[in-house]
Amino acid sequence: MEFVAHPNELPLKLTAIEDQHFPPCNSERTGFAGITYLTSCAFDSGACVEVTLEEIDPNFCVCGRVAWCNKEEGGYLIAIEFPTQEACYSVRMVEQLSQIEHYRRRAKNEGRRLNYNEAAAEWIQKFAAQFPAFTL
């Protein structure tokens, strides 16, 4: 399973969900499984969370499960897996948009002004081949 590090400057809203149940994940699964994110509060492994990302898509809302949570400097690094095909596909698409926005902002900090389409074209050329494929 592969997790993509979500850019910290694009804040996720994570809300614990008490009564959500997911089918067990196959530990031998390959490809994109979810995201990692540095958050200020700890979550128990196995806990279900609702994930929203208003800055990229105000309508984006998906449920995932905390695969692990590790104390790090500055907070807790958590991995969130998305066990259903629909959620995993949605998150992978939104995460690519997040990575492109992160790339655009980094270019701006380096003195390069790119619009979103220019940033997307450069990111795709440089990084899309390394982005984990969707397999479930």
Percent of the chain at pLDDT > 90 equals 64
Question: What is the value of pTM for the model shown?
Answer: 0.87
pLDDT digits (tens, 9 = 90+) for 74-131: 899 999 998 888 888 899 899 999 999 999 999 999 999 999 999 999 999 999 888 8
DSSP 84: S
Q: Coil, helix or strand for 72?
A: strand
What is the CATH code for 2-130? 2.40.10
Report, as an integer, the average pLDDT of 55-64.
91
How many angstroms separate the CA atoms of 136 and 10, rounded?
26
Long-range contacts of 114-121 (CB under 8 A, 24+ apart): none
**Bridge pairing between strands 2-5 and 32-39:** parallel
How many angstroms separate the CA atoms of 27 and 1, rounded?
7
Q: Where do we find the tokens 């959620």?
A: 87
In this model, does residue 40 exceed pLDDT 70?
Answer: yes
Whats the size of the chain, residue-wise?
136
